[in-house]
Structure 1
Amino acid sequence: MDSSVTPPAPPERPDPPAHNLATAHSRQLPGVVIIGAQRGGTTSLYRYLTDHPNIGPSLRKEVHFFDRYYEKGPEWYLAHFPLRGEWPLVVEASPSYLFAPAVPRRIHTALPGARYIAMLRNPVDRAYSQYQLMVRRGIESLPFAEALAAEQVRLPGPDNPMTLPWRHFSYTKRGLYAEQLQRWLAVVPRERLFVIRSEDFYADPAAILERTLDWLGLPSVIPDSLKPYHLAEYPDLDAATRRRLAGYFAPHNQMLYGLIGRDLEWE
């Protein structure tokens, strides 16, 4: 694929069922939202949380109302959730919310009491995982190093993470977590934002799930088996590209550590 070629458009998201739309104002807004990061373990955490007896799911995991479908209006969003009274807590997970600049203020206005979970993966590994996903989907054909070099050319300015090039080719941009979290913390109190290091989640999902439930004030109900979702096998990233990316992300990571008051120990 030429670096300037626009990727194919994905199919349009279907509307919720007519019954859900008709009963939208009787439905329960989410009290917790997993905001990202993409390729950071959000699907697994969402599935584990919605297995809890006190947590209800959205109609689909990724509603994407506050970034892609905002013009559809609040009734469309409400129609994705259970009726009020069915669950003590409802969760949504749209992993590009972290990345999209307009989302924090939109979501804080609509869900002023909500809490938010950000799953942050080493941005080097996150970028390579996104690249491999685009390869599997037939969207990316450049070698990884060339795709990184083409990123600035492919992404039209100003920043618009909801255009297709930004959604598909933002390998390094999505890993600049500090600037993304700064937008969130400008409108959301720090105590309502729970940061999970994705590597800790991968290593011991039960422990991280228990910590998350404790933060949500829910009883610790941990399944005997926590199956990981969206696992994929692909070649290791070559050492030279890893070093180059690590050097690029290093100052941004240091800003992140200062922002959240924690060293995530990424290279």
Structure 2
Amino acid sequence: MQGTDTARNPLRSSAPQWAKESGRKVSVTLGRLTASRRLLPSFLVIGGQRCGTTALHRALIAHPVVAGPVLHKGINYFDLGYHHGPAWYRGHFQLRATARRRAAAAQLPLAGGASATPEPQAMESSGYYLYHPLALPRIRHDLPDVRLIVMLRDPVERAYSAYKHAVARGFETEPTFEGALELEESRLAGEEERLRTDPRYVSHSHRHHAYLTRGRYAEQLRRLYDGFDPGQVLVVASEDFSTRPEPVFAGILDFLGLPAWRPASFERYNARPGRPLPESLRRRLDDHFAPYDEELGQLLGQPPVWRRPPVSA
């Protein structure tokens, strides 16, 4: 069964909610029963939230050798659903035989011109894996050799985009972005510790209201590098993927060991319209993130894209 997103299955997107729920239950039950015949991810897109992960996910699952989850872009196993167990997780992915047939039909050459069919690779994407305090240790335990892709974006733009997204989805009731920023500290107080001590606890505010905290990328990357070899991690700037998609995507395929290929086009997804961010607030947020961006630059070995001076024509 091929499919991950409604863009690939218009019948699913138009189906009534009860039918979607019934189909989801059947798929999960069948997946669990056939878990040993299904793929496990060899790479994950782990965040950050509102940093272009959907666009990258869509481009990657279009690759003939890449198999995404059957139902959704993200399974949220390592953050929200870990108590379901490994068979439940594996049951969300494609049958190995199905993925192999798709890869063989594409007839993509391997590196060096070899003619053998490349082995399919499974993946999923979750914008919460990078930020949830238990996700990375769980990934390391269950998938120690997995490759991890992190997408980062100007944290000011990311924060405002996250707010607009939360409002549109009904996750945010505060009518102004500034008001939501003022509430953030109190909303998140004690939530990370509770997540650490109660593995089944789900924090609405930790997931949806961390506008500033999620943009402190250096803290999250340090936690990532503490658990994984840097060679397993690729950091991609959302701005680079937006402006130079072909070479950036080619570099991602090379990192993953996938045959060279490109989609017909690179699209943007989930953009949220809204009023421009007031310039005074933008400057204040830019100052807030400056020391965190400096730490990030030290980790990356160069300033992040949004802190580099513009290139003269």
Report the residue type matching 2:167 in the other structure: V
Match of 2:292 in 1: 252
Report the residue type matching 1:194 in the other structure: L
The CA distance in 2 between the partners of 1:17 and 1:99, in whole Å, is 26
Question: Paired residue for 2:96, among 66, 80, 84?
Answer: 84
| Residue pair 2:93, 2:122 contacting (<8 A) in 1 also | yes
Match of 1:133 in 2: 165
- Find the residue that maps to 2:96 and give its secondary structure: coil
1:238 aligns with 2:298: no
Match of 1:151 in 2: 184
Question: Paired residue for 1:65, among 77, 84, 91?
Answer: 77
1:102-153 C-alpha deviation (Å, 9 max, x unpaired): 1111101101111000000111100000001112123333311111111111
The CA distance in 1 between the partners of 2:94 and 2:237, in whole Å, is 30
Q: What's the CA shift for 1:70?
A: 0.6
The CA distance in 2 between the partners of 1:47 and 1:265, in whole Å, is 23
Match of 1:9 in 2: none
Question: Paired residue for 1:202, among 224, 229, 242?
Answer: 242
1:187 aligns with 2:227: yes
The CA distance in 2 between the partners of 1:227 and 1:251, in whole Å, is 32
- Larger Cα-atom Rg: 2
Question: Paired residue for 1:123, among 155, 180, 183?
Answer: 155
- Find the residue that maps to 2:41 and give its secondary structure: coil
1:104 aligns with 2:136: yes
The CA distance in 2 between the partners of 1:122 and 1:134, in whole Å, is 18
- Find the residue that maps to 1:17 and give its secondary structure: helix
The CA distance in 1 between the partners of 2:263 and 2:38, in whole Å, is 28
Aligned residues: 256
| Residue pair 2:28, 2:88 contacting (<8 A) in 1 also | no
| Residue pair 1:101, 1:180 contacting (<8 A) in 2 also | no
Higher helix share: 2
Report the residue type matching 1:174 in the other structure: R
C-alpha RMSD over aligned residues: 1.8
The CA distance in 1 between the partners of 2:28 and 2:80, in whole Å, is 19
The CA distance in 1 between the partners of 2:39 and 2:234, in whole Å, is 22
1:57-81 C-alpha deviation (Å, 9 max, x unpaired): 1121111100001111111101111
The CA distance in 1 between the partners of 2:125 and 2:293, in whole Å, is 24
| Residue pair 1:131, 1:140 contacting (<8 A) in 2 also | no
Report the residue type matching 1:124 in the other structure: V
The CA distance in 2 between the partners of 1:168 and 1:104, in whole Å, is 19
Normalised to the residue count of structure 1, the TM-score between the two structures is 0.91
Instruction: Judge which range, 154-163 or 26-35, deviates more.
Output: 154-163
| Residue pair 2:32, 2:91 contacting (<8 A) in 1 also | yes
The CA distance in 2 between the partners of 1:77 and 1:48, in whole Å, is 23
Unaligned runs of 5+ in 2: 1-20, 101-119, 196-201, 308-313
- Find the residue that maps to 1:186 and give its secondary structure: helix
The CA distance in 2 between the partners of 1:140 and 1:93, in whole Å, is 27
Q: What's the CA shift for 1:265?
A: 3.5
The CA distance in 2 between the partners of 1:167 and 1:140, in whole Å, is 15
The CA distance in 1 between the partners of 2:43 and 2:169, in whole Å, is 30
Q: What's the CA shift for 1:158?
A: 4.3
| Residue pair 2:188, 2:206 contacting (<8 A) in 1 also | yes
1:192-215 C-alpha deviation (Å, 9 max, x unpaired): 100000111111222211111111
Match of 1:28 in 2: 39
